[in-house]
Structure 1
Amino acid sequence: MTDGVDERPDEPAENISGGPGGGGEHIEGEVDDPRPTEGDADTDDGAPATRAEAVVDELGEMYWQKAYGGQAAFECLVRTILSQNTSDKASQPAHDSLMARYGEGADLAESLAAAEQDELAETISSAGLYNQKSETIIRLAGRVVDEYGSADAFDRFVKSEAPDEVRNTLLEMKGVGPKTADCVLLFAGGRNGVFPVDTHVHRIARRMGLAPADADHEEVREAIEAAVPPEKCGFGHTAMIQFGREYCTARKPACLDGPEACPLVEYCDQVGIDELSGEVVDPADVVADD
């Protein structure tokens, strides 16, 4: 355990939510020891009420505890579209190039709504799927301009309206899925209780037994949001992604090197992992074989 949040590592720059432009503020103070004790359902002493909360508390100790919010909503939407089906390391240069070309001294939504697709595709080529993503971004920019008038007005909508209304509105936009909508709610809207589910969170939650092994992304989100206090969902999401990159990888999770290699092994059901053979399968495949 660390003695305080100042000793935790900074969020990596190559992270849709992290780095200097990622927004979010460190939560002051220390976290109670998250390891469950007997009668851990009783939270009067600060012990976590669920295993999922205990996992998130441990992740907060390992990495960071931050309260998110403050990103410009339309830029956050664009940034998340760029990150789809690619790494943050690849999407970050695309975001930077897009902002340099279309965001300086202009309303970003208006500028992108008027962009030539081949020019935008070239600008964001490092993100992959650039033809599809450029088409989506121009279409979304046009809708934002038509319905809200500007990126600033869209930002006010995201930050002031009821979260369910904002989420439903975003999901009605072609090219915006649940993870993208939740990222906008969290990183722009600063809404507590939102736990976006990407491929890392989807894998880890089912592998650890925090959600059913055959749960889809929405079912994982519902399970975690029901089990983790709202104020812990934001950093739980970003820290779980980092844990997935460093320890609980898709093909070779750290536990294959022995229990001591994974700091969260005591919380994990290891669904789909055979330590003896070294075989790793998707947790859903375990259910299918039963």
Structure 2
Amino acid sequence: MSEDPEPSVNISGGESGGGATAEFDPATADTRAERVVDRLGELYWEKSYGGRDAFTCLVRTILSQNTSDKASQPAHDALIERYDAPDVGLAESLANAEQSTLAETISSAGLYNQKSEILVATAEWVVAEFGSAAAFDEFVKEEAPETVRETLLEVRGVGPKTADCVLLFAGGRTGVFPVDTHVYRIYRRLGIAPPDADHEDVREVLEEEVPAAKCGFGHTATIQFGREYCTARKPACLEDPDACPMGDRCDQVGVYPATGEVVDPAETLE
């Protein structure tokens, strides 16, 4: 297990990324999904989230799309250093940014031309629709979660995972379990979500079966578990059945230790 169980170089911001310690009682778990999340909480951390600035969180999540946190974090830091001027504000600054300069600034994040275009358009939308990043932040924190999610999903470049991360890390909304590539892979591999489930299907299963207060750390701890143990191509169980701390809770859907083969769970239906 990592000596740094909640890394600062990730979308959650680590220990300094807002939120507070969460409390849970594993003895009261009612579902397999909840028992998995409880064990993740014992492995890593139990934390509720919230308090991040909504527009900054939206920018950070867009930068993280289709790349690792280690690649996107330097891009985020460089963007903040160049564009977050106290006398102007990040949203206003990005709305007026030269796209080629912004693309160069965030080049470490990958897909930087596409992301720079999306970031400028998103900043323009925030300024036009809400008047300021502060008003957008208030909208995210105060409006009904369903309204916030639907509104964000209308913005180009904002998908369900991005919208849910803003609701979780900025809005502090319980019951939100964002589904990234790790979450999507792991809960189908465990057998908790159907092998052919899409991302939204997985989210619905988790948000139904995991108590609202546990969804936040369930999301972030699952990502850490996916990086350390349940990787896409070489899950720990392939070499040693006892190496994975989730071994007794996993159906190993699409993982075949006898042959060393690993396939997407959906392929097991073919």
TM-score band, normalised by the shorter chain? over 0.9
Q: How far has the Cα of 1:23 moved from its partner? A: 1.9
Q: Does 1:166 align with 2:148?
A: yes
- Of structures 1 and 2, the one scoring higher in RCO (CA 8 A, sep 6+) is 2
Q: Does 1:201 align with 2:186?
A: no
CA distance in 1, matches of 2:133, 2:76: 16
2:219 corresponds to which residue? 237
Q: 1:283 aligns with which of 261, 265, 268?
A: 265
Question: What letter matches 1:149 in structure 2?
Answer: G
SS in 1 for 2:155: coil
Q: 1:95 aligns with which of 68, 71, 76?
A: 76
1:12 corresponds to which residue? 7
Q: Tell me the alpha carbon deviations over residues 46-97 of structure 1, each in whole angstroms, 9 at most, x when there is no partner.
A: 4210000000000000000011000000000000000001000000000001
Q: How far has the Cα of 1:210 moved from its partner? A: 1.0
Question: What letter matches 1:15 in structure 2?
Answer: N
- Give the 5 Å matches for 1:13-28: 13-19=8-14, 21-27=16-22
Q: Does 1:70 align with 2:65?
A: no
1:265 corresponds to which residue? 247
Q: Is the 8 A contact 1:158 1:188 kept in 2?
A: yes
- Give the 5 Å matches for 1:1-290: 9-19=4-14, 21-27=16-22, 31-32=24-25, 34=26, 46-105=27-86, 106-287=88-269, 289=270
CA distance in 1, matches of 2:76, 2:15: 14
Q: TM-score, normalised by structure 2?
A: 0.96
Instruction: Choose 254-263 or 158-167, whichever is displaced more.
Output: 254-263
Structure 1 spans left out of the alignment, 5+ residues: 1-7, 35-45
Cα distance change of structure 1 residues 96 and 90 upon mapping to structure 2, 3 Å threshold: same
CA RMSD of aligned residues (A): 1.2
Q: TM-score, normalised by structure 1?
A: 0.90
Q: Tell me the alpha carbon deviations over residues 149-186 of structure 1, each in whole angstroms, 9 at most, x when there is no partner.
A: 01111000000000000000000111100000000000
Question: What letter matches 1:48 in structure 2?
Answer: A
Percent identity, aligned pairs only, is: 69
What is the number of equivalent residue pairs in this alignment? 267
